[in-house]
Amino acid sequence: MKHHLFIFLLGALPFISLAQVSVDLTGAGANEVFPLCEQMRKQGRVAIQQDVRLENLLGRQQKTYNAATHVQTAKSGQEVLYTTGFRVRVFSGNNQTVSKNEAYAIESELKEYMPDLETYVIFKTPNWRLMVGNYRTMEEATAALRDLKKKFPVYGREMFVVKDEIELAL
């Protein structure tokens, strides 16, 4: 058995050595590529320009984020600035008959102990979600998350910070 393996490896050795190919970059093409790479390396930035039609073909839309997205009048009658920020998701459920009631029950429990907390019950197919707060930075939202987990340990496993459109009073 050992002799067969030895003979096989001895026979395969020429083929293995032929599979190794070396690339010679000293030709005319290298004279054009290397100075270009060196020049780009020294600049320190890369700008990619592509046709807008390529984005359309891929089905992606380029998002632009501004500090202020838009101003609108809220339900309370005051003007509100809508911008990108963070919220704490307290509950999310996809059972159509139970999740809506559960989200509103958790909201009322939160409001009972923290009446000044902004809460939002949102339906995004197929989930009912309870979001809390309007935080401009991740640090603010994380601090609020820790506080909520201490006050409501029952829901602590479901709570986490999410990026969302927030409302800031003007």
Q: Catalogue all structural domains in the chain, each as residue range(s) with its CATH number.
A: 70-169 (3.30.70.1070)
Task: Determine phi and psi for 21, rounding to 5 degrees.
Answer: -120, 140
Q: What is the mean pLDDT of the chain?
A: 77
9 or 139, higher pLDDT:
139
Alpha carbon distance 57, 30 (integer Å)? 35
Inform me whether the pLDDT recorded for 104 exceeds 90. Answer: yes
Percent composition of the chain: helix, strand, coil (DSSP 3-state, to 5): 40, 25, 30
Task: Determine phi and psi for 87, rounding to 5 degrees.
Answer: -135, 165
User: Where residue 5 falls among pLDDT bands split at 50, 70, 90?
Assistant: low
Alpha carbon distance 7, 13 (integer Å)? 10
Q: What is the mean pLDDT of residues 6-24?
A: 58
Inform me whether the pLDDT recorded for 163 exceeds 80. Answer: yes
Alpha carbon distance 150, 136 (integer Å)? 22
Q: What is the mean pLDDT of residues 112-133?
A: 91
Alpha carbon distance 84, 37 (integer Å)? 39
- Of the chain, the percentage scoring pLDDT greater than 70 comes to 61
Length of the chain: 170
Q: Which of 108, 88, 95 is nearest to 156 (CA)?
A: 88
**Side chain identity at 56, as an amino acid letter?**
N
